[in-house]
Structure 1
Amino acid sequence: MQVDYKKLWIRLIEKGIKNKTDLIPLAGISTNILAKLNKGEYVSMDSLAKICRALNCDIGDICVINEVNKK
């Protein structure tokens, strides 16, 4: 499975947040978490909850899990 955070980046734009790094102080996350989000890597539920509280949204509003077919 792969995590897709495109919805998060769209939500930031909708909120008028043009720079992804502005999410760090807004949500109280670390630069490592932001780097993982940029790479589409897994982050803790705690980090996702902080982002959701900061953006006043639900987890489904910021990410989706995509199934990756392995052959």
Structure 2
Amino acid sequence: MEVSYKKLWKILIDKDMKKKDLQAAAGISWASVTKLSKGETVSMEVLMKVCKTLNCDIGDIMELIPTKDNETT
């Protein structure tokens, strides 16, 4: 499975926030923001800080996308 954070970037646009604003407000490292930008996995702690900062649920900022390897035929 792959992780998509497209929902997170849409929320940031809607709130007129930049990635650096999220990083500062959530108290997460720049390395974590970079991982989010690349669609890589981050710790649950990072996701919880982002959700708390944006006052949203985890499903509002990310989704899991099945890959061909995970599909059953």
TM-score (norm 2): 0.91
In the alignment, what sits opposite 1:5?
A: 5
Q: Which has the larger radius of gyration?
A: 2
Q: What percent of counterpart residues are identical?
A: 52
- Residue type of the alignment partner of 1:60: G
Report matched runs for 1:17-36 at 5 Å.
17=17, 19-36=18-35
Runs of at least 5 residues in structure 2 that lack an aligned partner in the other structure:
none
Structure 1, gaps ≥5 residues long: none
Q: How many residues in Structure 1 have an aligned counterpart in Structure 2?
A: 69
Give the 3-state SS of the residue equivalent to 2:64 in structure 1: strand
For residues 1-71 of structure 1, the aligned pairs below 5 Å read: 1-17=1-17, 19-70=18-69
Q: RMSD between aligned alpha carbons? A: 0.7
Q: Match of 1:12, as an amino acid?
A: L
State the TM-score, normalizing by the size of structure 1: 0.93
